[in-house]
Structure 1
């Protein structure tokens, strides 16, 4: 498997996928990706061989298999394309198709998140693109749930398509976590002051001074699990690992509005999980408002799974002990 989360993984396609793909191509897939005409078995066989070679060669076009981890079955395909005539340098188009028996489980959204993770590991990405027919509600919903934003509509030789875009991620080596200590109080106060609306702070929490934050940071009992998020050595956010019931921890995080949409929060949470492992944590939980799709996407890219719907928020879980996702 090239990359995976708790539910699905991506792998190279091969000749052995012929039967699964032929059986899985229903009218929805044929219309959206096949030009409206069902491919013959020979055409599918030729395409699989080309896809296998393309991935091995590391070229700009790649078609991968989406695998359901529980069963090991091929659940669909995902395309990663660069250099096409409608893309500018640095843009990457993603296309996806989930076979009928596997729909309704969030596999397409997960596959898109994994593809973005995989492609940013391979080479720099300025922007990811998803294009869908305006009446393809399922494909549009996948893009939105994966954190893409609408970016216009085009009608040309490729058809009538709605565009969705997602910024490429900041390179992993520009983001790091450091202890959030009193000596960072001035920078932290300035960051919070510029993001009071972004954080929806209550009135009594607004306007705090650097001295107040320094005192709070100095007296905190969670200094060992409280981190500043740095991007290119500039303070851009905060991550907390709250030892609510060690070895079980609660995760909290935020990044300033100027730093959203660049993969910084995703990387910060990934680094926080590394810290949790160093603390011998077995479980990390996080709460998020269901309408905060960006935060949901950050958690899911890091392997979190929703385990409970509560009043006002959903609870997500990331097991670190090899077990299955479960409620607290």
Structure 2
């Protein structure tokens, strides 16, 4: 069994639960975000539910796990809970936590998760796992900041209150890991968005599902998609739900293009095909018909590429267009891209055909060459 220690954790302390934590715990578990991402929490959550949790915490200790309160080191105020579930075969244990809404934004969860992970590994646990709902980006950021590495997505791993199953993002930290924070290759936009006063780029979210799908099923958008097939509403919902997790993972950035004056959904833009060793990624974009011909796409590409060159290790952004897609080629030229090559039969077309792809590039700190097609 693990010792019921008191663990200093920077701005907080981990200690065993006490009866005095009950009122704060009950109040915290009425929080909408806790209810949303912890479907096992009863609704409504009562004082009796807290007493049952405190009793179950004793059982966790007896079974070889650990159940701590996260507390203020000065006042001993309860700020949250963090558990180490009893180890599974192969010396693997799972960490789970919740933080009261009044204690968020202070690094409480990161400090607690990092301290508990280090303590558990010192006491013989070989591998720690941390699971987070695919839409729970703050929890995924906590995992990375506490030295956990993302390993993948467990599809349909958790049942929700309505009976549906949701994906969980899986993180792990091993005894031999450094425990240093895992820095995202693609950081968030400063302040949450990018704007030049005319267009605004912000992360794609589940709330954009209907607008996103309506854009992606337009025939002219489908024609230039890979593969050239319209997404179902469920596919669009999954893409929007997981967009933030893919961004954090550094595999794909998807952003909404908005009219900065009205907030209207004007289109979407991505960085995909990210290859860190090469410092290269690909951009692509789609616009709603009523926003075409107004320079929105060019502005969006410029905003995204200039942000990428300033805030990420990327040094080369590429793009591809159909040879006949003159509008997209104009966007890329105006955004500083240079035509590079024609890739014969690169793209899948309808009915098993193959289509040519016109390749473009833009380099960090290097202007387009005047002696190449697309140069000034």
TM-score by length of 1: 0.49
Q: Which structure has the greater CA radius of gyration?
A: 2
